[in-house]
Structure 1
Amino acid sequence: MSTSTADATRRIEQRWGLFHRWGPYALLGFGVVMSLCTSGVVGMTRGDWYTAGALVGAGLALQLGWGALAAARPGPSPAGIGYYALRWAIAFVLTWINPFFAFYAVVAYFDSERLLPARLVKPGLFLTAVTMSGSQSGGLPPDGELGWGVFGGLLAVNVALLAVFAHFATQEDQRARDAAATIDELEHTNNALQQAMDENAALHAQLLVQAREAGVADERRRLAAEIHDTIAQGLTGIIAQLQVVATASDEALAREHLDRAAQLARHSLGEARRSVHNLSPTALEHDVLPEALKKTVVEWSERTGVRAELTVTGTAEPLHEEIEATLLRIVQEALSNASRHAAATRLGVTLSYMDDEVALDVRDDGRGFDPLALVQRTGSGGFGLDGMRVRAERVAGSFTVESEPGHGTALSARVPLVRHG
C-alpha cells in the first residue's frame, strides 16, 4: 500500500477509534437527557427511575472496564462478545423503560464487526434491530395486536435496511481493496519503470564511455597510420637522399639529392601540420566559437531533456584555434559531468568577451557537491575537473569550481584573449 493511502487509512481508523471510545458515553448521556424530558409522557415511575439509574451506572462501569481492555483485545474475542452482550442487555432494558434510551442501543450497529466473530455478527445486529424496532413502535412491550403488528413491520424494515447497508458496505470494502491493489500495482510498475530508466541511464553512460574510448583508439590508429604513411615515409626518403649525398663524388649529383631531401622535409612538415590541425574539434571546422558552443548546448539539451541556454556577452571575435578548442572542450566536459552527476533541471553557459581575456561560466541547479571533500576522498578534483583545469592552464588561463551540496555547481574558466592570426 502506498504511503498516502496508508496515511489516509490510519486517519480514518483513528477517527473511528475516538467514536468507539467516547461514542457510547455520549449516546448514553443523550438518552438520559431525552428520558428526563419525556418521563412524564412515557409515564416513568420512581421505581423505573431507580432501575434506570442503576442500569445507567452499570453501563458507565461496563464502558470504563472495556476501555481498559479494548487496547489489549483489538479484534473479536470472548471478552468482546461479553461486552457486546452486556451492553445490549442494558440498552434493551433501558429502552423497555423509556424508548429514548434506544440512542444508547444504536452504537451496536457500528462496532458489531469489530467485537463479534463473523458467525455472530448477524445475530448481534438482529438483537439490536429488535431494540430499535421496539423504540420506534412506541416502546416495549407492544400494546395489543396492532402494536405487535407495527413492531413486526418495523423489525422487518430494520432487518431489510441492515441487509441493504451490509451489501453496500461489502461492495464499498471490495472497491477499497481493489483500489488499494491497483495503487500497489501502479507503485510496483512505477518502481520497475524507474529501475529500467536507471538501467538505461547507466547503459547510456557506459555507451558514452565506450564511444569515447573507441574514439580515442580510432584517433590513435589514425595518427599512427598517418605518421607511418606520411611523416615516417618522408623521413625515410630524406635519410636515403642524405646517404646518397654522403657517398656522392659529383657535386651536381649531391646538390640534386640535397634538393630532393629538402623537398621531402617540406612535404613532411606540411603533413605534420595537417595532422595536428585535424586534432582540433570538428565543431570548429565550419563554425566560430559562439556558434559551435550554441550547437553543442542545444544538442546536449535535446539529448538529456535538461533546459540549457547559451549567453554571449561582449563583442565576439575570432580567437586563436587553441583558445577556441580549449573553451569548447571545457564546455563539452562540463556538460558531460552535469548529465552524469548533477541531476540538474536547468543549466546556463555564459561566454564573455572582455578586453584582454575570455570568460566561460557554466552553472547548473543540480545536487552540487563539496569540492574539498571530493579532493580528500579521491585525491584529485574528480568528475573531470582536473582535465578542465589542465586545459585552461595549458593556454595560460585559470579554472575555478564553486559548489555546495544541494545548491548546484558553478564552473569558471578564464583564458587570455588571443585573436586569430
Structure 2
Amino acid sequence: MDQLHIWGPYGLLGVSSVLAGISAELVDGPVQWWAAGVLVGAALALQLWWHGTRSRRADRGRTPSPVGTAYYVVRWAIAFLLTWINPFFAFYAATGYMDADELIPGLWRRLGLFASAVTVAAAQAGGLPFHSGGQWAAFAGLLVVNFGLQALVAHATEQEEQRSRDRALTITELEHANTALRQALDENAALHAQLLHQAREAGVADERRRLAAEIHDTIAQGLTGIIAQLQVATNTPDPTQARDHIDRATKLARHSLGEARRSVQNLAPVALEHDGLPQALRKTVAEWAERTGARADFTVTGPAEDLHAELSATLLRIAQEALSNTSRHAHASRVGVTLTFLGDEVILDIRDDGKGFDPRAVRERTGTGGFGLGGMRARAERIAGALTVESEPGHGTAVSARVPLVTHDH
C-alpha cells in the first residue's frame, strides 16, 4: 500500500496523458495543447517535490499535516484544470481517492473526497463545461454515486484504523499487566524466601526451647529418679529390695534413653537425609504400622515437588507427632495419611478411626505434652501455614496441615 501511494500518482498521470494524447477529441487548438503540457509538467514537478519531502519526513507522510493538505489542494486544482481540458485526465484526478486519509485531517477529509468526486463525476458526465440539462443531471447522479462510495470506503477504513489502534492499546496494556505480574511474582518469591529465613530462625530458637524443656521434663527427671533409686538400693540392707530398686533404675535409664533418642530425632529428622518428603512419609507410616500392628495407608496426590528443606522437615514432624498421638491415645485400627500437591500449597492429612475426642475440651499445649496439637499448630504457623483438627468422641480424628508450596530451588 505504501508503494501504491508513492508511485500511483505518477502512473495515473502517465495513463491520463497517453489517453488524452490518442483520443480523437483531444483539444481544439494549440493553446489547449500548450496549457495541458504546462499543467502536466507542473503536476510532475509537484509530485517530485512531494516525493522528496515525504522521504525526508520521519512519518513518511502517513500523518496528516498542513504541508500534506496544501499538496493535496494544489494537486486537485491541477487535476481539475487538466480534466477541464480533457476528460481523460480524470484518471489523475482519482488520485485524490487514494491518500485523502493520509493528507487531510479530521472531517476536512470528507471535503477533499467530495472535491475529487466533483472532478471525476464531471469527466464521467462528458467533461466540463456542461452544455445541457441532461449533463447536469448525469453529473449530479454520478457525483452522489462517486462520493457515496468513497465516503463508505473512508468510513470503513477509519473503523479499521480505530480497531487497529484499540488492539495496539490493548496489547500495550497487556504488556504492562504482564510486566506488573512478573514483578509481583518476583516480589512474592522474595517474600517467600524472607519468610522461610525468618521461619528458620524462629524454628531454631523454638527447637532450642523445646529441647531444653524436654531435657528438663524427661531426661533430667529420669536421671534424678535413677540417682534416687540407686541411693535407696545402696542404703537398703535387704538384697531383694535393693534388686527391685536397681530394676526400677534400669527401667528409668531405658526410658530416658528412648526420650533422648526421640528428642534428637525431632530435632533433625534423619528420614530426610537421603529421601524426599513423600518417600520419608511412606517409610514413617510403614514403620509405624509395623510397630503398632494397625493398618496404615499412605497416598500422594498431584505432581510431587522437591520441597524446601524447612517445609519437608515441618510436615514430617507434624506427621510423626500425629501418628504418635494416634498410637498413644486414639487406639485406632486404621490410619490414612495423604500428601497433596495443589500447585501453590501442600496439604498433609492424617485420619484415624480411633475413639476421637472433643477438641474444645482439650487444653492445647506446645511441645510434646498432652495431644501435642499446640506444637503441631505452632510448627505449621512458623512457615505461614495452618493446622486444623476435626474430631468427635467415637468417630475418629482428622488432622490437616496446609502450608505454602516453596520448592527447593527457592
Q: Which residue of 2 aligns with 1:101?
A: 89
Q: Which residue of 2 aligns with 1:286?
A: 285
Judging changes above 3 Å, is the alpha-carbon distance between structure 1 residues 231 and 27 closer, same or farther for their aligned structure 2 residues? same
Which one of the candidate residues 110, 117, 123 is aligned to 2:98? 110
Higher alpha-carbon deviation: 91-100 or 216-225: 216-225
- Cα separation, 2, equivalents of 1:198 and 1:24: 56
- The residue type equivalent to 2:213 in the other structure is A
Judging changes above 3 Å, is the alpha-carbon distance between structure 1 residues 303 and 270 closer, same or farther for their aligned structure 2 residues? closer
Q: Which residue of 1 aligns with 2:408?
A: 337
Number of aligned residue pairs: give it. Answer: 291
Which one of the candidate residues 55, 74, 77 is aligned to 2:39? 55
Q: Deviations over 1:202-247 (max 9, x none)?
A: 555555556656655555444333322221112222334455677x
Judging changes above 3 Å, is the alpha-carbon distance between structure 1 residues 265 and 285 closer, same or farther for their aligned structure 2 residues? same
Judging changes above 3 Å, is the alpha-carbon distance between structure 1 residues 44 and 236 closer, same or farther for their aligned structure 2 residues? farther
Deviation at 1:133, TM superposition (A): 0.9
- Cα separation, 1, equivalents of 2:66 and 2:178: 44
Q: Percent same amino acid at aligned positions? A: 55
Secondary structure class of the residue paired with 2:70: helix
- The residue type equivalent to 1:128 in the other structure is S
Unaligned runs of 5+ in 1: 1-14, 307-334, 341-421
Judging changes above 3 Å, is the alpha-carbon distance between structure 1 residues 114 and 210 closer, same or farther for their aligned structure 2 residues? same
1:17-416 alignment runs, 5 A limit: 18-36=3-21, 38-40=22-24, 42=26, 47-70=31-54, 71-72=56-57, 74=61, 75-118=63-106, 120-205=108-193, 219-242=207-230, 248=235, 250=237, 252=239, 260-277=248-265, 279-281=269-271, 283=281, 284-287=283-286, 295=300, 298-300=303-305, 303=341, 305=343, 336-338=407-409, 340=410
Judging changes above 3 Å, is the alpha-carbon distance between structure 1 residues 274 and 165 closer, same or farther for their aligned structure 2 residues? closer
Q: Determine if contact 2:302/2:342 at 8 Å carries over to the other structure.
A: no
Deviation at 1:143, TM superposition (A): 3.2
- Cα separation, 2, equivalents of 1:191 and 1:227: 53
- Cα separation, 2, equivalents of 1:297 and 1:158: 68
- Cα separation, 2, equivalents of 1:31 and 1:69: 24
- The residue type equivalent to 1:62 in the other structure is L
Secondary structure class of the residue paired with 2:126: coil
- The residue type equivalent to 2:341 in the other structure is R
Secondary structure class of the residue paired with 2:10: helix
Q: Deviations over 1:37-61 (max 9, x none)?
A: x422556755544433332222111
- Cα separation, 2, equivalents of 1:276 and 1:251: 39
Deviation at 1:87, TM superposition (A): 1.3
Q: Deviations over 1:3-46 (max 9, x none)?
A: xxxxxxxxxxxx43x3333221122122223334x422556755
Q: Determine if contact 1:35/1:98 at 8 Å carries over to the other structure.
A: yes
- Cα separation, 1, equivalents of 2:163 and 2:66: 31
Per the normalisation by structure 2, the TM-score is 0.57
- The residue type equivalent to 1:300 in the other structure is E
Judging changes above 3 Å, is the alpha-carbon distance between structure 1 residues 205 and 34 closer, same or farther for their aligned structure 2 residues? farther
Judging changes above 3 Å, is the alpha-carbon distance between structure 1 residues 144 and 249 closer, same or farther for their aligned structure 2 residues? closer
Q: Determine if contact 2:113/2:151 at 8 Å carries over to the other structure.
A: no
Deviation at 1:141, TM superposition (A): 2.0
Q: Deviations over 1:174-210 (max 9, x none)?
A: 4444444444444455555555555555555555556
Judging changes above 3 Å, is the alpha-carbon distance between structure 1 residues 298 and 258 closer, same or farther for their aligned structure 2 residues? same
